[in-house]
Chain A
């Protein structure tokens, strides 16, 4: 069963538009961790954020913000005023005891920002 679902395969926006990437996770554990990674066209995988299940506070880092809602098992990611450099594949991931020592990755969402 898919533990992390990123329903949006591709999103295309024009520069300066906001874009929200959805991430829905599945776990029966009360303690777990959620992550977002970015993979730009150059190919490397870059860590963006880590959030534990006890911290539902939203987080903002520059133009990036994350909305964690346990009630809906979602950890959504918003890019405000998108720029061409935001074009990348974004992966959501889950760490929970049921999956042992491995992260469960979503399939990724490709974001294309057009100038």
Chain B
């Protein structure tokens, strides 16, 4: 049982480049989330989705886009990467928020 899988695990981007962080889950969870965690800091919600075709902004959505075409996948797109987007990105899924989240192992992104 893979749970929540994030790829890549590490990535270095140059300023202005774009990339997509992949997140897939095999638990048939309707709810999926993207968080970022800056060094030594807590979790900030970027975007979330309560089901295929439905997405909503979190507290720090600027500079990011998401899509949810299937239940399993919730990719996060960075357009025009900036040094401020250097962070660890976590994807999470849930069968319902009252049950808590299952997190992926994270993607460490550095923008130089």
Contact = CB atoms under 8 A, between A and B. Distances in A.
Nearest to A31: B98
Given A43-B88, A44-B106, A45-B90, A105 B100 contact: no
Interface in A23-48: 33, 35, 37, 43-47
Contacts of B43: 91, 105
Given A44-B106, A101-B48, A106 B42 contact: yes
A91 B42 contact: yes
8 contacts: A44-B103, A45-B90, A45-B92, A47-B100, A91-B42, A91-B43, A95-B98, A107-B41
Interface residues of B, number: 22
Interface string B95-112: 001111111011010000
Interface in B24-65: 31, 33, 41-43, 45, 48, 50, 58
A46 B100 CA distance: 11
